[in-house]
Amino acid sequence: MGMGMEDTTSYRDLGEVVHDPRAPAAGPTKGGADFPFLRSSKVLFLPSHVGLGHVTRDLAVARALRRLEPRIEVEWCSAEPATSMITAWDERLASGCPELKSFSTTVEGFIEGRIRSPSRMAEELGKLKENYEDIHELLDGDYNFVFADEFWELVYAAPKEVKEEVVFGTDLIYMPYPRRPFRALISTILNAYFKKRLAEFGKLIYLNDPIALGRARWYLVAGSRVTDWLHEHAISVGLLTSYMREELPGREEARRELKVGDEELLIVVTVGGTSARSKALLDAVDGAAMEIFGMVKEKLGSNGMRIIAVPGPRTGWDPRSHLVEVDRYPRSLARYYAAADVLVTRAGRTTTADIICSGVGAVLVPISGHMEQEHIARDIHGRFGYAVLKEEGLNPRKLAHAIVEEARRKHRSPKSLCSGVERIVDILASLPER
């Protein structure tokens, strides 16, 4: 279990299999011998198009399915920025996949305060209904199964009979309650919605470790425990990463590929697949580069340091400091997780799963007011000891100090929680034919 905590959670039977995210992975036979129906399978993936975390972890699942059975046919449908990542991996968009409206711009608008009025919010949510109307015929295609990863169009607009036929994956089933009354009201509304709508899916997979839910109740101090609901309605697979474990290179290999010296401290800055306040974090690290260099030399005795920034596809940004390099849009961050001493990043679910399972040091700076990221950062700090800084009041000295302290720490990957890719493949391969 890790962290010295007793876990008594059990998980619902899904298809023919039952999984506990801390039990050893089943390890299906390569070549599909255990799952012969995969040999002629055609499957559809519907990843969320809010950022890149969902699509990158789904791509890892697709690669693992192909490793199990190379003849499996995988098709995709989503919107930007997910579609660009899908094609970057030479994956195929379904022929019937229309050009969907991206919800990344909507989320960015919410976070940055550009979308506030009820009428504007209703207009933006209307995108989900329009997208569903554009793809609902695609769902009737000749697919052995459809896997949707937080594809909110289905939650918001699909009728129950459609939901019963879809395998729906999500790491968000409950919104924590902040101290501010208005935000607590928002959490209450969202939790009532999640509780009702997610239960309508016939096959629901929780893409996280249930221990992260703690003893939370649906309505702050009222209602049943969220883990009781999870036990009844979903199956958990633990942390789902953007890479298969065998794709994570060794540290020496990754640093050699990036031309990082043995004595150099490598700091990597990532902001994810949305532009929501991304420039603020990139600018903070860029402005602190000299402070970081001086403190690294003073506190760690190192004369070498490299900072590599990954702005992502939706953030046009260039550094001012000569100490900061840019890798604009790598299709995978696996080599950075293996090579880096410290990551400075947001606190999205896939990013933090990647960090925990690679064992790399990290300084998390959640987006201020982003209730999910703030909760994830608190949980990761409390359970795994990663450094967390608030976005407000972030200054060069604070950032440099946090990076140096994190570089001194050693994090161990909790392997018992990091088999999410293998477990979900095991589940998908064991589903009865549609």
Could you read off the pLDDT of 296-334 as tens digits, one per residue?
A: 999 998 879 999 999 988 899 999 999 999 999 899 999
**Is-contact 16 25, C-beta < 8 A?**
no
CA distance 323 to 337: 20
pLDDT at 419: 94
Residue predicted with more confidence, 388 or 26: 388
Task: Give 268's strand partners.
Answer: 308, 343
**Is-contact 370 111, C-beta < 8 A?**
yes
**Is-contact 35 28, C-beta < 8 A?**
yes
pLDDT at 315: 92
Sketch the domain layout of the chain as residue ranges. Answer: 36-241+418-429, 249-414
Q: Do domains 36-241+418-429 and 249-414 have the same CATH topology?
A: yes
Mean pLDDT over 81-105 rounds to 95
Residue from 51, 54, 67, 1 nearest 426 by CA? 67
Q: Tokens at residue 343, please? A: 């990551």
pLDDT at 40: 64
Q: Is the predicted pLDDT of residue 176 greater than 90, yes or no?
A: no
Three-class SS of 335-372: HHHHHCCEEEECCCHHHHHHHHHHCCEEEECCCCCCHH
CA distance 154 to 162: 8
Residue from 5, 32, 28, 2 nearest 17 by CA? 28
Question: What is the pTM assigned to this prediction?
Answer: 0.90
Q: Tokens at residue 169, please? A: 């994956």
Q: How confident is the model at residue 37 (pLDDT cuts 50, 70, 90)?
A: low
220-242 confidence digits (pLDDT tens): 888 889 999 999 999 999 999 99
Residue from 323, 335, 258, 271 nearest 297 by CA? 323
Sequence-distant (6+) residues with CB within 8 A of 322 are none
Pick the CATH number of 36-241+418-429 from 3.40.50.2000, 1.10.1050.10, 3.30.9.10, 1.20.58.2030: 3.40.50.2000
10-19, 85-94, 372-381: segment of lowest average pLDDT: 10-19
Three-class SS of 62-112: HHHHHHHCCCCEEEECCCCCHHHHHHHCCCCECCCCCCCCCCHHHHHHHHH
CA distance 157 to 386: 38
Residue from 422, 97, 392 nearest 430 by CA? 422
Sequence-distant (6+) residues with CB within 8 A of 316 are none
CA distance 41 to 73: 6
CA distance 10 to 26: 17
Mean pLDDT over 335-356 rounds to 97
Q: Which residue has the tokens 């899908």?
A: 86
124-147 confidence digits (pLDDT tens): 999 999 999 999 999 999 999 999
Give the torsion sign (CA, 242, 371, 167, 77): negative
Q: Is the predicted pLDDT of residue 14 greater than 60, yes or no?
A: no
Per the CATH hierarchy, to which homologous superfamily does domain 249-414 belong?
Glycogen Phosphorylase B; (3.40.50.2000)
CA distance 39 to 343: 40
Q: Is the predicted pLDDT of residue 33 greater than 50, yes or no?
A: no
Mean pLDDT over 93-110 rounds to 93
CA distance 81 to 175: 25
Q: Which residue has the tokens 């016939």?
A: 202
Give the torsion sign (CA, 398, 334, 150, 97): positive
Centroid of chain to Cα 190? 20
347 vs 31, 35, 138, 266, 343, CA distance in Å?
37, 36, 33, 20, 11
